């Protein structure tokens, strides 16, 4: 089973700052099947990025994803108040089992 490790666990930033979140896989993951989500308190998760770098419908362009192999990154260019949330990476696709990373909390400094 692929293990996804996210870092940092928590990051404290201010609105307008740039956020860089990391997701490292225990073995190579197809870029086609790496997604990012965020989850605000009391809400269901929301898909941000799929295929490592492709924005989901309705996601603003301040969100971008990159990476390949075992190292992936989600970047938020300028944090808006609604971006303070928990972010998860996930692998899916043709493998029999899928997993989520443990999450990175982006909190207001």
Partner 1 sequence: EVQLVQSGSEVKKPGESLKISCKGSGFIFSSYWISWVRQMPGKGLEWMGRIDPSDSHTSYSPSFQGDVIISTDRSTSTAYLQWSSLKASDTAIYYCARLGLFFGEWRGFDYWGQGTQVTVSS
96 binds partner 1 (CB under 8 A): yes
Query: ∠ CA(56), CA(103), CA(99), 5° rounding?
Result: 75
C-alpha span between 26 and 79 (Å, rounded): 29
Contact between 99 and partner 1 (CB under 8 A)? yes
Determine contact, residues 63/73, Cβ cutoff 8 Å. no
Determine the Cα–Cα distance for residues 44 and 25; give it in Å rounded to an integer. Answer: 24
Mark the segment that binds partner 1 (CB under 8 A) among 17-25, 74-82, 95-103: 95-103
Q: Contact between 31 and partner 1 (CB under 8 A)?
A: no
Q: What span, in angstroms and rounded, lies between the C-alpha atoms of 20 and 101? A: 15
- For position 57 contacting partner 1 by CB under 8 A, the verdict is yes
Work out whether 75 is an interface residue with partner 1 (CB under 8 A).
Answer: no
Contact residues: partner 1, CB under 8 A: 1, 32-33, 35, 37, 39, 44-47, 49-51, 54, 56-57, 86, 88, 90, 92-93, 96-103
């Amino acid at each position: 089973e692929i293990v996804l490790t996210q870092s940092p666990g928590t990051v404290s930033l201010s609105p307008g700052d740039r956020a860089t979140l990391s997701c490292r896989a225990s073995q190579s993951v197809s870029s086609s099947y790496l997604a990012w989500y965020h989850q605000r308190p009391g809400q269901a998760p929301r898909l941000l990025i799929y295929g490592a770098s492709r924005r989901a419908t309705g996601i603003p362009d301040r969100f971008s994803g990159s990476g390949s192999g075992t190292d992936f990154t989600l970047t938020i260019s300028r944090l808006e108040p609604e971006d303070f949330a928990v972010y998860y990476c996930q692998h899916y696709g043709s493998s029999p089992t899928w997993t989520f990373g443990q999450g990175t909390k982006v909190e207001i400094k």
